[in-house]
Amino acid sequence: MGAAPKSPLLCWKWPWDAFSNPKNPNACGNLAVPWLFKSLQNLGSLAQNILFNPAAVATNGEPFMELRRKPARVSMDRPLTREEQGEAEQRALASALASGKEATVVEFYSPKCRLCNSLLDLVLELEARNSDWVSFVLADAENERWLPELLHYDIKYVPCFVLLDKHGRALAKTGVPSSRMHVIAGLSHLLQLKQPPNHKSMDSTLMREFTSES
């Protein structure tokens, strides 16, 4: 028997995918589903609202990724409920798409996922280094508010990073995670797809730093 096929680093979405043979197996799932879900259609109105009312994103002026570093709060008295957390994450996505940046990366994660949590510092570092052209947005895969998007992108594993262009079209996503190093390599390749020519890719020092615990 031959060796089991390796998990791909990236899963692709192309404009002609809709015309491909639906019976062909795809380990990465289906990315070519039409935009039928109401919550995704609502992103347009959310983005418009945020353009004229930046205060609609209740992150207290912080990068949204920081909400995962410490408990998010709507007041000094209590943490966000799951409903409020999901709404805040979806508003962050709408804000990212309205920013006009070249790309947006949506990270589907689970609060219970140790690998997801171990990647937080790396994602924060990547966001800081590339904030002029790409936004990072979190999506809790266990929150029912993200169910339409989970179906749309056929998310069957976490962590999973989905790359969107400036128009919100999905281009690719990271493959099934087999190790921490595998996810980091996939994320690096994902960013290179839309990275401006004057930007360096994830340098070897950063790669070594965040893969040393793999």
Mean pLDDT computed over 45-58: 45
State residue 31's pLDDT score.
Answer: 44
State residue 70's pLDDT score.
Answer: 42
Q: What is 10-14+30-211's CATH number, 3.40.30.10, 3.90.230.10, 3.55.10.10, 3.30.1310.10?
A: 3.40.30.10
> 3-class DSSP state for residue 101?
coil
Q: What is the pLDDT of residues 109-134, one digit of tens each?
A: 999 999 999 999 999 999 988 899 99
- Given a cut of 80, whether residue 175 has pLDDT beyond it is yes
Residue 143 amino acid letter: N
pTM beyond 0.85: no
Cα–Cα dist 44/101, whole Å:
16
Q: Are 76 and 122 in contact (CB under 8 A)?
A: no
The larger pLDDT score, comparing residue 72 to residue 158, is at 158
Residue 52 makes CB contacts below 8 A (sequence gap 6+) with none
Residue 73 DSSP one-character state = B
Mean pLDDT computed over 66-79: 51
Rg (CA), the chain: 17
